[in-house]
Amino acid sequence: MEVSVENITKTYGFQKAVDGISFKVKAGEIVGFLGPNGAGKTTTMKIITCFMPPNEGDVKVGGISVLSDPEEVKKHIGYLPETNPLYKEMPVIDYLRFVAEIQGVQKEKIRERIVEMIQVCGLKSEKYKKIGELSKGYQQRVGLAQAMIHDPDVLILDEPTSGLDPNQIVEIRELIKKIGREKTVILSSHILAEVEATCDRILIVNEGKLVADGTANTLRKQAQAKEIVKVTIEDGDRNQIFQALQKLETVELVDLLPQYTQSYEVQSKPDASSRRAIFKLCTEKGWTLTEMTPVERKLEEVFRDLTITN
């Protein structure tokens, strides 16, 4: 089921929390929502899940508008809010039954769905305990289980892995990936590595605006117009090599890397590559080129560049 966010704006008082965000997510796609605190991630998710209407714009889930028929939209959405609110005094199994009933799961299927969710989310040993007695990680699993109990077409997860231990994080990521093959998944996170590992596509929001949209690789490339390579050249005088490298036509800047005395970081001019030239230079001068690796910018740096405005 396709989720299409069309130019939504949301204002709290005078502050614009979301300012004209538009994007589309297709079925079978996992989209990661990134952004610093207060960027508008949670607000956007609250609008998609019909918690509150946008001031302007519209969101369509499978072609149905959240403004005209929120009741129908809600049937297709599974939502895990950021704070993972739960009825603490209810036992896990009763709570899942309540959510299944209210989501309109057919009576004869409820039992089967609960058993499946308990198994998938690893809640077997905790199912009769009251939710308030569970650890944070288990509560997070209950939150995930309730979001998926009606087998929704669209899954909206606001920081799904917060509070989980590393093993659980890996499990939940695998689970999300599995679900994402058929369903539409939108998840938000602060952890960039997680988004990179689970998501097909990344959306970065900052101050209510969408500042980037693409796969992790395209984002990196976009942010990195200049080629940087790390080269290690042996059998030569350091200063000579340094100067020779700097004289190359395509090279803009050469950095000496102090900890590896034979290594240099070579930054090329925009839209140019110096790799061939470096190789030729070495053969001419009889130096031995032992390493030449492109330096990739980390997603963290891309994120910082895009979200730090001043």
Partner 1 sequence: MKKIWIITKRELRSFFDSLMAYIMIVLFLGFSGFFTWISGSDIFLVNQASLQTFFGIAYWTLFFFIPAITMGLLADERKSGTLELLVTKPVSSWQIIIGKFLAAFLLICISLALTFPYYITVANIGKIDHGAVWMGYLGLLFMSASYISIGLFASSITSNQIVSFLIALFIGIFFHLIFGIASSGSAGWFAGILNYLSISTHFESMARGVIDSKDLFYFLSIIFFGLIGTELSLSKRNLSN
Vertex 8 angle, CA 102 and 198, to 5°: 65
Question: Cβ of residue 2: shortest distance to partner 1, in angstroms?
Answer: 19
Say which residues have a Cβ less than 8 Å from residue 174's Cβ, sequence separation at least 6. none
What is the rounded distance in angstroms from the CA atom of residue 226 to the CA atom of residue 250?
11
Residue bearing tokens 């939940």:
172
- Residues 270 and 298: their CA atoms lie apart, in Å, by 19
Shortest distance, position 109 Cβ to partner 1, whole Å? 15
Distance, in Å, from the CA atom of 302 to the CA atom of 224, rounded to the nearest integer, reads 8
Residue placing its CB nearer to partner 1 in the complex, 98 or 242: 98
Write down the least CB distance from residue 172 to partner 1, Å: 19
Nearer to partner 1, 12 or 279 (CB): 12
- Shortest Cβ distance from residue 26 to partner 1 (Å)? 22
Tokens of 88: 């603490």
- The enclosing H or E element of 179 equals helix 166-180
Residues found in the chain: 310
The Cα–Cα gap between 223 and 303 comes to: 9
Q: Give yes or no for a contact between 10 and 47, defined as CB atoms under 8 angstroms apart.
A: yes
Q: In this complex, which beta carbon is closest to partner 1, that of residue 104 or of residue 270?
A: 104
Residue among 76 and 183 whose Cβ is closer to partner 1: 76
- What sign has the CA pseudo-torsion 218, 296, 160, 168? positive
Strand partners, 251: 268
Q: Which two tokens stand for residue 69?
A: 């028929």
Name the minimum Å distance from CB 91 to partner 1. Answer: 9
Q: How far is the CB of 163 from partner 1 (least distance, A)?
A: 15
Task: State the nearest-atom distance from the C-beta of 125 to partner 1, in Å.
Answer: 22
| Strands 201-206 vs 184-188: parallel, antiparallel or unpaired | unpaired
11 forms beta bridges with 16
- Antiparallel, parallel or unpaired: β 3-12 and 56-61: antiparallel
Q: Cβ of residue 71: shortest distance to partner 1, in angstroms?
A: 5
For partner 1, which is the closer residue by CB, 28 or 85?
85
CB 178 within 8 A of CB 22: no
Q: Which is nearer to partner 1, 90 or 292 (CB)?
A: 90
Applying CB under 8 A, which residues contact partner 1? 12, 46, 49-53, 71-72, 74-75, 77, 79, 81, 83, 85-90, 94, 98-99, 101-104, 146
